[in-house]
Amino acid sequence: MPGTVSRTPGPGEMPRLGRWWLPLLILLVWQGLCSLGVFPPYKLPSPLAIGAGLVELESQGMPPGQRLHWHLFYSLLRVALGFGAAALIAVPLGLLLGASPRLHRLINPLIELLRPVPPLAWIPISILWFGIGLPSAGFIIFLGAFFPIVLNTITGVTSVNPAWWRPPSPWGPAAAMSSKKSSCPGPCPTSSWGCA
């Protein structure tokens, strides 16, 4: 197209197509070893067999009628519910704990008591409380996302310059409003790391 400038790779940068050589080579070697019978299909199916299985799952479903895109939808729904609930609770709680040292001293021991427990260890309790289904899976995802978000939010609040939280009183409510606008975004970068 006229007006477009072709960009040449730098000295330490691979061409755009060159980045795909290694994955393609791995797939070719993988397919070749499986075709030669080095790996039995029940131990390591070939890429072509995996592709055929995905097509079959989408066309017929497993169990019949439950196609692959529905499984993907429900998996994403579990993640969205668990992560969304964790963010809705952990971000405000982290803001409160970071802004109030007294509240942090009161609640932080409970957080540190529960945080080292792996989310998978909660599976029996989640089944007992919520049964087998969407709520129990969402609860496990909630636990896996809650503690990183709340801890990173606390770190973000405590790392903000304390002067940003104190509006200069001689200028009244307008100064307080401007101080809130400048200080509230301060914890956002660290809090977003916990959500990532």
> pLDDT of 67-115, one tens digit each?
888 888 988 999 999 999 999 999 999 988 988 889 999 999 999 999 9
Do 24 and 114 lie in one domain? The reply is no
Q: Give the pLDDT confidence of 11-70 residue by residue, as tens digits.
A: 555 566 667 888 899 999 999 999 998 888 889 999 999 999 888 888 887 777 778 888
The domain in which residue 148 lies consists of 69-195
Examine residue 10 and state whether it is found in any structural domain, yes or no.
no
Q: Give the pLDDT confidence of 132-173 residue by residue, as tens digits.
A: 888 999 999 999 999 999 999 888 888 766 665 555 555 444
Do 74 and 36 lie in one domain? The reply is no
Examine residue 105 and state whether it is found in any structural domain, yes or no.
yes
Q: Collect all residues with Cβ–Cβ distance below 8 Å to 129 and sequence separation of at least 6.
A: 136, 139
Torsion on CA atoms 52, 53, 54, 56, rounded to nearest 10: 90
Q: Collect all residues with Cβ–Cβ distance below 8 Å to 136 and sequence separation of at least 6.
A: 123, 126, 127, 129, 130
Examine residue 2 and state whether it is found in any structural domain, yes or no.
no
Whether this prediction's pTM lies above 0.75 is answered by no
Output the pLDDT for position 167. 53
Split into its structural domains, the chain has a count of 2
- Is pLDDT at 185 greater than 60 in this prediction? no
Output the pLDDT for position 63. 74
Distance CA 196, CA 191 (A): 9
Examine residue 1 and state whether it is found in any structural domain, yes or no.
no
- Is pLDDT at 189 greater than 80 in this prediction? no
Distance CA 129, CA 144 (A): 17
Examine residue 98 and state whether it is found in any structural domain, yes or no.
yes
